[in-house]
Amino acid sequence: MLEEMYDPNVPFTQAKDETVCKYCSYREVCYR
């Protein structure tokens, strides 16, 4: 997982199901 996070060839994509974002500490970063 960490390899994917730091791999510039892997694009960042938001979760399709926004309910998983409800308690995420980073939801403000991706505007959820």
Find all residues with CB under 8 Å of 18, minimum gap 6, and list them.
32
Q: Which of 30, 9, 11, 6 is nearest to 20 (CA)?
A: 30
Report the amino acid identity of residue 16. Answer: K
Q: How far apart are CA 14 and CA 12, in angstroms?
A: 7
The pLDDT value recorded for residue 4 is: 86
The pLDDT value recorded for residue 22 is: 92
The pLDDT value recorded for residue 2 is: 84
Query: Per residue of the chain (32 residues), what is the pLDDT tens digit?
Result: 788 889 999 998 888 999 999 999 988 988 88
Q: Where are the domains positioned within the chain? A: 1-32
Q: How far apart are CA 17 and CA 2, in angstroms?
A: 22
